[in-house]
Amino acid sequence: MPLLIATSYLPPALYMAEIAKADEIIVEAFETYTKQTCRNHCLIYGPNGRQTLSIPVIKVNGNHTITKDIRISTHQPWQKTHWRSIKTAYSNSPFFLFYQDYLSPFYEKKFNFLIDLNIGLLETLMHIMHIDCEIRLSAHFEKSPAGVIDQRTEPVAKHCLHPIAYPHYTQVFEPTHGFIPGLSILDVLLNLGPETSGYLKTLQP
């Protein structure tokens, strides 16, 4: 059964765990855009602990803007800021050098629409993690769709935090701030590398 899920920027680990179990992925493109979610935010582990990276967006039709029409604002150098933060957070992680060339182009190329950036990053993450399944955008909005696993609300809720047990893995700044669960898949990937897929199988919402 297809997985219907919201778009997400460098998704939470739980989001990728759901995708890893799916045979087909439908990304919701026609919902009314919801702010304060992982649609344009992600959480990483920086030198000072949990750090939020936010993409500045423009709601062209105000609060009635649908997701596919959300544009990325060019008034801030967010790409430069995000990539600098990612390097500061993970340059000493075990697998940053292995994966940086997959990620850096997304902080150099201009993207007009948030969903295009998010889909591009998602496809890249799936490639790295050897997740082989079809991914497509929804064709219209349905409040209560039939024939799909509807995960549009979770796991992209506010602050990307979920009441589940996250097994421990070693993080770069753990000696200073302790283990921080529920972060972007980026944290898991850059610390665990090829073991990421196995880790995702342990996550149960």
pLDDT digits (tens, 9 = 90+) for 123-177: 999 999 999 998 999 999 878 788 888 888 865 555 444 568 899 999 999 999 9
Is residue 27 within 8 A of residue 152, CB to CB? The reply is: no
* 41 contacts 53 by C-beta, under 8 angstroms: yes
**Mean pLDDT across 102-129:** 97
Instruction: State the average pLDDT over residues 108-113.
Output: 96
- Which tokens belong to 4? 């219907």
CB contact set of 91 (below 8 Å; sequence gap of 6+): none
Strand partners, 28: 6
Nearest to 193 by CA among 115, 117, 116, 125: 125
- Which pTM value belongs to this model? 0.93
Task: Give ∠ CA 8-194-102 in degrees, rounded to 5.
Answer: 55
Q: What CA–CA distance (Å, rounded) separates 69 from 71?
A: 6
Segment 107-116 shows an average pLDDT of 96
Share of the chain above pLDDT 90, in %: 77
Q: Give pLDDT, residue 118.
A: 97
Mean pLDDT in residue range 71-75: 94
Q: How far apart are CA 175 and CA 191, in angstroms?
A: 14
DSSP annotation of 32:
B
**Ranges assigned E (strand) in the chain:** 3-6, 24-28, 41-46, 49-54, 57-58, 71-72, 134-137, 149-151
DSSP 81-95: HHHHHHHHHHTTSTT
Rounded average pLDDT over 97-113: 97
